[in-house]
Structure 1
Amino acid sequence: MIEDLRALVGIESPSRDLDALATSAKAVANVIESRLGGRATLVESPGGTQVRWSGGGEPKVLILGHHDTVFPLGTLERRPFTVADGKATGPGVFDMLGGLVQAVHGLAALDDLAGVEILVTADEEVGSRASRALIEERARACGAVLVFEGAADGGGLKTGRKGCGTFEVTVTGRASHAGLEPEAGVNALVEAARQVLDIAALGRPEIGTTVTPTVASAGTLDNVVPAAASIVVDVRVESAAEKDRIEAAFAALTPHLDGARISVEGSVGRPPMPESASAGLFALARRLLPGIEGVAVGGGSDGNFTAALGVPTLDGLGAVGGGAHADHEYLVVDAMAERADLVTGLVRAIQNEDHAMV
Structure 2
Amino acid sequence: MTDSPARSNIPTFDSEEILAGIRRWVEIETPSHDGVAVNRLVDVVESDLARIGAPTKRTPGRDGFGDILEARAPWGDEDEPGILIMGHLDTVHPVGALATTHVFRREGDAVFGPGIYDMKAGSYMGFYALQHFVREGRRTKLPVRVLYIPEEEVGSPTSRAAIEAAALKSKYVLVMEPARDGGKCVTARKGWGRFDMTITGRASHAGSRPQDGRSALRELARQILDLEAMTDYDKGISVVVGMASGGSAPNVVPALATATIDLRVPPGIDVDAVVNRVLQRTPFDPDCRVEVTGGINRPPYEKNAGITALFEHAKACAAEIGFVLEDTPLTGGVSDGNFPAALGIPTLDGLGADGRGAHALDEQISYASLVPRAQLLVRMLETLT
For the criterion TM > 0.5, the same-fold answer is yes
Q: Which residue identity lines up with residue 292 of structure 1 in the other structure?
A: L
User: Is the 1:4–1:31 contact (alpha carbons within 8 Å) kept by the matching residues of 2?
Assistant: no
Q: Which residue identity lines up with residue 67 of structure 1 in the other structure?
A: L
The equivalent position to 1:106 in structure 2, one of 129, 138, 160, is 129
Q: Does 1:281 align with 2:310?
A: yes
- The aligned residue for residue 356 of structure 1 is none
- The aligned residue for residue 72 of structure 2 is 54
CA-to-partner distance for each residue in 1:104-139, whole Å, 9 max, x for gaps?
Answer: 223333311551000001010011111000100010
Give the Å deviation of 1:212: 1.2
User: Is the 1:102–1:337 contact (alpha carbons within 8 Å) kept by the matching residues of 2?
Assistant: no
- The aligned residue for residue 93 of structure 1 is 116
1: CA distance, partners of 2:193 / 2:91: 19
User: When the two structures are aligned, how many residues end up with a matched partner?
Assistant: 350
Q: Does 1:343 align with 2:377?
A: yes
- The aligned residue for residue 75 of structure 1 is 97
- The aligned residue for residue 40 of structure 1 is 56
2: CA distance, partners of 1:28 / 1:107: 13
Q: Which residue identity lines up with residue 44 of structure 1 in the other structure?
A: P
Alignment of 1:307-346 (within 5 A): 307-346=341-380
CA-to-partner distance for each residue in 1:315-358, whole Å, 9 max, x for gaps?
Answer: 000110010001100011111010011011111122xx1xxxxx
SS of the equivalent of 2:162 reads: helix
User: Is the 1:168–1:231 contact (alpha carbons within 8 Å) kept by the matching residues of 2?
Assistant: yes
CA-to-partner distance for each residue in 1:128-151, whole Å, 9 max, x for gaps?
Answer: 111000100010101210000011
- The aligned residue for residue 198 of structure 1 is 226
- The aligned residue for residue 242 of structure 1 is 270
- The aligned residue for residue 285 of structure 2 is 257
Aligned CA RMSD, in angstroms, stands at: 1.4
The equivalent position to 1:177 in structure 2, one of 193, 205, 210, is 205
User: Is the 1:106–1:342 contact (alpha carbons within 8 Å) kept by the matching residues of 2?
Assistant: no
2: CA distance, partners of 1:338 / 1:29: 26
Per mean C-alpha deviation after superposition, the further-off stretch among 223-232 and 24-33 is 24-33
| % identical aligned pairs | 38
The equivalent position to 2:47 in structure 1, one of 26, 30, 42, is 30
User: Is the 1:91–1:329 contact (alpha carbons within 8 Å) kept by the matching residues of 2?
Assistant: yes
User: Is the 1:171–1:262 contact (alpha carbons within 8 Å) kept by the matching residues of 2?
Assistant: yes
User: Is the 1:75–1:91 contact (alpha carbons within 8 Å) kept by the matching residues of 2?
Assistant: yes
- The aligned residue for residue 28 of structure 2 is 11
- The aligned residue for residue 217 of structure 1 is 245
2: CA distance, partners of 1:273 / 1:258: 39
User: Is the 1:320–1:331 contact (alpha carbons within 8 Å) kept by the matching residues of 2?
Assistant: yes
Give the Å deviation of 1:275: 1.3
1: CA distance, partners of 2:36 / 2:310: 37
User: Is the 1:59–1:117 contact (alpha carbons within 8 Å) kept by the matching residues of 2?
Assistant: no
2: CA distance, partners of 1:153 / 1:27: 31
CA-to-partner distance for each residue in 1:193-229, whole Å, 9 max, x for gaps?
Answer: 1101110111221111111111111111110000011
User: Is the 1:107–1:343 contact (alpha carbons within 8 Å) kept by the matching residues of 2?
Assistant: no
1: CA distance, partners of 2:144 / 2:69: 14
Per mean C-alpha deviation after superposition, the further-off stretch among 105-114 and 24-33 is 105-114
2: CA distance, partners of 1:179 / 1:120: 57
1: CA distance, partners of 2:307 / 2:36: 36
SS of the equivalent of 2:296 reads: strand
CA-to-partner distance for each residue in 1:232-266, whole Å, 9 max, x for gaps?
Answer: 11111112633212211022211011310011011
User: Is the 1:25–1:51 contact (alpha carbons within 8 Å) kept by the matching residues of 2?
Assistant: yes
2: CA distance, partners of 1:332 / 1:31: 24
2: CA distance, partners of 1:324 / 1:37: 33
2: CA distance, partners of 1:240 / 1:132: 23
CA-to-partner distance for each residue in 1:59-98, whole Å, 9 max, x for gaps?
Answer: 3010011000000111111133222312211101101000
User: Is the 1:186–1:258 contact (alpha carbons within 8 Å) kept by the matching residues of 2?
Assistant: no
User: Is the 2:283–2:290 contact (alpha carbons within 8 Å) kept by the matching residues of 1?
Assistant: yes
Q: Which residue identity lines up with residue 365 of structure 2 in the other structure?
A: L
In the superposition, the TM-score normalised over structure 1's length comes to 0.94
User: Is the 2:126–2:146 contact (alpha carbons within 8 Å) kept by the matching residues of 1?
Assistant: no
SS of the equivalent of 2:111 reads: strand
In the superposition, the TM-score normalised over structure 2's length comes to 0.88
2: CA distance, partners of 1:120 / 1:311: 18
User: Is the 1:159–1:315 contact (alpha carbons within 8 Å) kept by the matching residues of 2?
Assistant: yes
SS of the equivalent of 1:4 reads: helix
CA-to-partner distance for each residue in 1:268-289, whole Å, 9 max, x for gaps?
Answer: 2100000115211101011111
